[in-house]
Amino acid sequence: MAYCSSSSTTSASPVVRYLPSNSTSSTTSTFSPLPFRSNRRRSVRIATASLSPVNSPSTSFSGSQKNLLLEVKDLTAVIAESKQEILKGVNLVVYEGEVHAIMGKNGSGKSTFAKVLVGHPDYEVTGGSILFKGSDLLEMEPEERSLAGLFMSFQSPVEIPGVSNIDFLNMAYNARRRKLGLAELGPIEFYAYIFPKLDLVNMKTDFLNRNVNEGFSGGERKRNEILQLAVLGAEMAILDEIDSGLDVDALRDVAKAVNGLLTPNNSVLMITHYLRLLEFIEPSRIHIMEDGKIVKTGDISIAKLLEEEGYKAISTA
Amino acid sequence: MATFTFTPHIASRPTLSSSSKRKPKFNSIKTTKVSLQTSPPSLSDPFVLQLAETLEDSLPSSSLPFPLQKLRESSAETLLSTPWPSRRDEAFRFTDVSFIKQSQIHPISNPPQSSQLSSIPVETQFANVVIIDGHFVDSVSNLTELPNGVYVGSFIDLPSHSIAKRVSEFVDGKFVGDLFWSINGVGAPDLTVVYVPAGCKVENPIHFRYFSINGGEEGSKELAVSNPRVLVLVENGGEIEIIEEFLSGDGGRSYWANPVLEVVIGCGGKVKHSYIQNQSLNAAHIKWTSVQQESTSAYELVEISTGGKLSRHNVHIQQLGPETMTELSTLHLSVGNQTQDLHSSLVLDHPRGYSRQLHKCIVANPQGQAVFDGNVKVNRYAQQTDAGQLTRSLLLEPRATVNVKPNLQIIADDVKCSHGAAISDLEETQLFYFQARGIDLETARKALIFSFGAEVIERLPSTSVQKRVENHIKELLNTTLERS
């Protein structure tokens, strides 16, 4: 018995040890000292590629160095309260540096999928698996998922009266620094850090002193979500309808900010109804979701077809 | 589960202007002041009688200035017919004061010995008054930098006869509160006076520090009672800021602080009042604040109460002329087995008054309780009154209790009045938003709870007091939340 349990711990430990070192750094160098990881990754990649024969990505998918970031297998989930099934077996694979988009009708499960990924308490996972950077995401608390490098921008972020935006960001940023074993930043140091980021989302300074999302317009809320992304950073950013309720200028600002944050290692998963956003942030793959499943994967041409002929064209295709 | 009761009362009674909440049958029979206080003409309550006697005996009867003597006599007379309140009295339905009755009550008859004064910390920031166990102690107060004509000190030492005469008009005023008001009237050893002459705007706040140094050891049945009494008289156009701070004293001593503060504000005058109650968790603290506002005067109260086993603040505000401005903000925090109670009554009798009341409480203990009874009366001539009232409670533990009773009584027909009440736990969606940004649940909870109280704390006019209160509340919440 004793032997048995000790051997199982050793086999699990590389994964555990590997995690923090990866999340500490957003630069590319992290992976070179761990060659065995990329070997393993590559084999996984081949396996999963065969699961989705539809795709033929035209953009940057040449390097065999690519690491697997997110792997969702047969994910099913229900609404916690009513037990109504929303996700009915979702499969998705995202590699580092890729931009994916999920499209689909209202009620097809896109937002639920995004919320399940970050551990929203309204939903209960009933089956399947989610691996993020090799770790089992479903075993992690929402805050651990965030600290591991997963970020979701909320479709309609909640108001938090009495907590100023800058205090909130400072708290979140310090939680990250604590995780990395760095000293926390005081309000003044943090102000110096955050001030330049405001330009990214084209916001004025007084934005920081207002309470989180309180009385914010739709556009301001979206900008605020992207500001949080800019401050906290993320290896995987899930943008849930970041374009809804935005005018063209605001959309351009937000898209510019997102593009500015993209690096060869960061991935983005966008959820949207419109081609317009995809013209600003170009995805390498587009997935169509229908009734809790991804039913089709392809390149930008799918989105164009959708825009012209609606979902009927996809279903019948 | 957490429990609460919510009884909003919006009554419109064009004929009845009595201040009694009793059934009309008493109103029709009795019209004297005393009858409004008591249940049917009753015999004296032996416990109250004995208490009144003990208090009287503890104080020297001679050498009292006439107005104070008069106050003592009229208060004693009222006590004769006032029984000790029980849960059957509406005003004490949710506030159990039997713990005082079951204790051995000792009056504190002498001012503190000089050897006891060494423990009083020196305060250098503001002009300050130290009141120890109800006695004003000149030697540790600091009142050197008051503007010309402003007086702060004992009634006996009032320098000018004309001011003494003016102050005397208000010492035994028309307003009579409940039993505890009268107990203070009998037991107050002295009257501390703040006098602001007409047109004088006092720039710096006057800081009242109340200490309770006598008291039974933790767990004993001894209760040392003190009855500090302060009168603030601001003549027409005068302005002043008062900070009242009731401090805890050493450890968890048991004592009963029974203070009264009266505020009289002349036409166009302005008083900002901060009241911070941080007494021992084994203490009873029952306070009265009575305010009279002449026309176009302004009164702002910010209360933060966190201490006491039983803490009750009775506020009575009477409008004497049109266009007054009144703002009341309260934060009650119950982190232990304690009751925090606010009974406020605001009476508007003149046109174009403006009032805002915000009451917030956090109950973070299964045995903790908060009580709020907020009455706003808009009488017949108080047309174009703008009155708003809001109470919000946060219950953080199962079985934590709050009883709120916001009530508006409107007789005038051209008014703008609003009230609201909300009772909740922390919002799940808000907590998740913190978590989704990497902030752990405990930190998120603390931030949300603190922000709930911050709305009131931010209204304290003095930033240094604000900072101190903020730290104290954070400390209380930290220890409570970590324990749970």
pLDDT in tens, B328-350: 999 999 999 999 999 999 999 99
Task: Judge contact between A234 and A179, C-beta under 8 A.
Answer: no
Q: How far is A104 from chain B (nearest CA, A)?
A: 24
Q: Which residue of A has its CA nearest to B458?
A: A162
pLDDT the model gives residue A84:
95
Lowest mean pLDDT among A139-153, A257-271, B191-205, B235-249: A257-271
Residue B143 has pLDDT above 90, yes or no: no
Residue B262 has pLDDT above 60, yes or no: yes
Given the DSSP bridges, would you call strands B325-334 and B354-363 parallel, antiparallel or unpaired? parallel
Query: How confident is the model over B290-299, as a mean pLDDT?
Result: 97
pLDDT the model gives residue A8:
36
* Rg, Å, chain B Cα set: 22
Chain A interface residues (partner B, CB cutoff 8 A): 118-121, 141-143, 146-147, 152, 154, 157-158, 160-163, 167-168, 171-172, 175-176, 179, 212, 228, 232
Query: Residue B241's beta-bridge partner residues?
Result: B272
- Tokens at A55, concatenated: 């795709």
- Confidence grade of residue A30 (pLDDT, cut at 50, 70, 90): very low
- Of residues B174 and B351, more confidently modeled: B351
Burial class (CB in 10 A: 0-12, 13-18, 19+), B442: exposed
Query: Residue A76's beta-bridge partner residues?
Result: A88, A127
Angle separating helix axes B441-457 and A165-179, nearest 10 degrees: 150
Query: How confident is the model over A281-297, as a mean pLDDT?
Result: 92
Residue B183 has pLDDT above 60, yes or no: yes
DSSP B325: E
From chain A, the residues in CB contact with B458 under 8 A are none
Q: How far is A310 from chain B (nearest CA, A)?
A: 34
- Residue A160, number of CB atoms within 10 A of its CB: 24
**ipTM of this complex prediction, to 2 decimal places:** 0.79
Helix, strand, or coil (residue B173): coil
- How big is chain B, counted in residues? 484
- Of residues A34 and B482, more confidently modeled: B482
Q: CB A146 to CB B435 under 8 A?
A: yes
Integer angstrom CA distances of residue B270 from B210, B296, B298, B360, B386: 23, 9, 5, 24, 19
- Tokens at B139, concatenated: 């030697």
Lowest mean pLDDT among B60-74, B123-137, B324-338: B60-74
Separation CA A7–CA A5 (nearest Å): 5
* A124 phi/psi in degrees, rounded to 5: -125, 130
pLDDT the model gives residue B384:
95
Lowest mean pLDDT among A242-251, B82-91, B453-462: A242-251
For B2-48, the pLDDT digits (tens) are 555 555 555 444 333 333 333 333 233 333 334 344 444 456 888 89
Integer angstrom CA distances of residue A307 from A249, A272, B126, B361: 21, 12, 70, 53
Integer angstrom CA distances of residue A176 from A24, A149, A281, B235, B305: 9, 10, 27, 57, 36
Chain B interface residues (partner A, CB cutoff 8 A): 427-430, 432-441, 443, 447-448, 450-452, 454-455
For B384-410, the pLDDT digits (tens) are 999 999 999 999 988 999 999 999 999
- Of residues B117 and B436, more confidently modeled: B436
Q: Which residue of A has its CA nearest to B447?
A: A163
- Tokens at B396, concatenated: 């953080």
* B172 phi/psi in degrees, rounded to 5: -115, 75
Helix, strand, or coil (residue B130): strand
**B245 contact partners, CB below 8 Å, separation of at least 6:** B207, B208, B209, B210, B274, B276, B278, B465
For A177-225, the pLDDT digits (tens) are 999 999 999 999 999 999 988 888 888 888 899 999 999 988 899 999 9
pLDDT the model gives residue B62:
64
Which candidate from A119, A143, A163 shows the least CB-CB separation from B440?
Answer: A143
Q: How many helices (H) and strands (E) does chain B have?
A: 10, 24
